[in-house]
Chain A
């Protein structure tokens, strides 16, 4: 595809509901990342996939957050029992390989703006 695609672009949900955010990475990119960005802040790391496996999920704030990438391509970020504090822009990025390599840049999607009311 032309770039990283995230759907929906905007999501409004009620407190306590379950939401799923989808990320379609660039074809052939093995590394996929989820970030969360609050107003006025830089993106904060949530989880990193290398292929199908979550290689680093240390940024997930609690067990209400979960992400999957079952076939090593599309990824879904799932948030259970949403809270108002979960409101943020959720960004997905992909790269050819992990950022630990010397010359790998990440390509970001446009993000999903989640609002919990």
Chain B
């Protein structure tokens, strides 16, 4: 079963605009991670936010976490055509299991 659910499923914007993707999850977490995937192959880790953090920045990326609402958002500012990819949130399960559980992803298209 999938823990995280991204919203929207697909997003199309123009270069220079900001892109916001949301993720909701179901259970308590230690951290939440965002990954990027180009062309359905390897995933690249973008950013990890711990459960006691509310916001984190990395370059043009800004991630927020609201544990009371069990939700997170990923903001990409000043988007570029090269940002076109699928973006996934993932959370580690608790209770002894060590696996990451992924959502279905948001497919972002940035038009030049």
Contacts and interface: CB of A to CB of B under 8 A. Distances in A.
B40 A99 contact: no
Given A56-B98, A102-B30, A108 B44 contact: yes
Given A56-B97, A103-B48, A105-B33, A111 B102 contact: no
B104 A99 contact: no
Interface residues of B, number: 29
Contacts of A75: none
Contacts of B41: 89, 110-111, 113
A12 interface: no
Interface of A: 4, 31, 33, 35, 37, 39-45, 48, 50, 55-56, 58-59, 89, 91, 93, 98-103, 105-111, 113
Interface of B: 2, 4, 30-31, 33, 35, 40-45, 48, 50-51, 88, 92-94, 96-105
